Amino acid sequence: MTSAPLLDMLGACWSFAEPVVALAWSHDDGTAAFALGGGHLAIVDTHWPKGPRVEARPGGGVALLPADSPAPRPLRAACHPGTCLALAADAQGGFLSGGDDGRVVLVPRDGEPSVLAEVPGEWLNAIACSPHGPRAYAGGRRVHRIGADRGEVIDVPATATALAFSPDGRCLAIAHSGGVTLWADHAAPRRLAWPGYHRALAWSPDGRYLVAGMQENALHGWRIADGGDIELGGYPGQPLSLSFAHDGRYLATSGGPRPVCWRFDPLSGSAPPNECGLAGKAPVSCVSCHPRQSLIAAGYHNGAVLLCQPGRDEALFVKGAGGGAVNALAWSGDGGRLAFGTQDGVFGWLGLPEALFRSRRGATSHPSQETLT
């Protein structure tokens, strides 16, 4: 018997018929924002007092109790006349959106959006915000960083494709063709060169490693201390979604028929990676590691979303196929909620309390038998 996806039991879903470009959670974990191809943000309040819930059963296991009221509907905030290209949660509250109009728009939790910065004639396709305050955005080869007391600008060797602050917020990594540029506080930019087109970035939680996803169906990483190279290849597709485990033990990526996990405890670039979860005709498009548990959320090109664990083939279905490729997938900072967005504009979120995963019995203890084909 096929069990229902968890989204049907524990979440809410909508469609605005516009591609979801990116998503981000507010730093208090209560709000999710979805950047849409039509230039708007869809902002969802995930406080749902009468929503579905999980309760422990006296004899063991858990019971899923349905919602007593509908979930709060998304609000739309107009940010760009064209399209949103990048999104990040701002440490000061709210969200920052970059668009093809050359503007960085601040969308506060309360009040109207306002233009924070503008670079006429450029597409602002990369934005990053450190939890400690600094902001960064890029248009073409020019990268801007705004701190508490000053703004700075540098040029990188080629168009910037991704930005990521180190875990301590002191160093900004900038991906581009030919490698990555590191821009640390009060220091000259440092180049980490490697041939190819670098399009995605992930720092290890301890800041010792930086890994880039490449258009050439490979990853490349560096040891920050000495700039040592780490080659991680063998992908059938482009690994453009990267996520480190909360404890840094492994790096999960897209680019294959299942989530691909590389060991980092210790680092062993010569060893083959492990795959987990279910495989199907549709490859993995997004991955996101749980911020507290050894659990990976994986989105597929056919719209399915599932949960799996490293080294295991079993999976729990969050969402069935449909709605286009999963373009964005992210856990809230406390790990209690998971949000997703697809190419066809389907987006939503669900609550996943720890009690659900502690259960060894009951309806949720067995993986769904729904296929990925």
What pLDDT is recorded for position 109? 78
Q: Is 35 helix (H, G, I), strand (E, B) or coil?
A: strand
Confidence at residue 111, expressed as pLDDT on a 0 to 100 scale = 76
Cβ atoms of 96 and 88 closer than 8 Å:
yes
Return the CATH fold of 1-16+234-373. Methylamine Dehydrogenase; Chain H (2.130.10)
Paired tokens of 311: 């080294």
Cα separation of 253 and 240, whole Å? 7
Residue ranges, CATH 2.130.10.10, the chain:
1-16+234-373, 18-61+73-155
Q: Taking the CB of residue 186, how many other CB atoms lie within 10 A of it?
A: 5
Per-block mean pLDDT, blocks of 10 residues, the chain (373 long): 78 96 95 97 95 85 89 95 97 95 92 92 96 93 88 96 97 98 94 98 97 97 95 95 97 97 80 89 96 96 96 94 97 96 98 72 37 40
Q: Tell me which residue of 277, 293, 287, 286 sits closest to 335, measured CA to CA.
A: 293
Decide: pTM greater than 0.85.
yes
Per-residue confidence (pLDDT) for residue 270, from 0 to 100: 66
Contact 286, 294 (CB under 8 A): no
Q: Distance between CA atoms of 364 and 371, rounded to whole angstroms?
A: 17
Hey, which CATH number is domain 18-61+73-155, 1.10.3210.10, 3.30.70.20, 2.130.10.10, 3.90.245.10?
A: 2.130.10.10
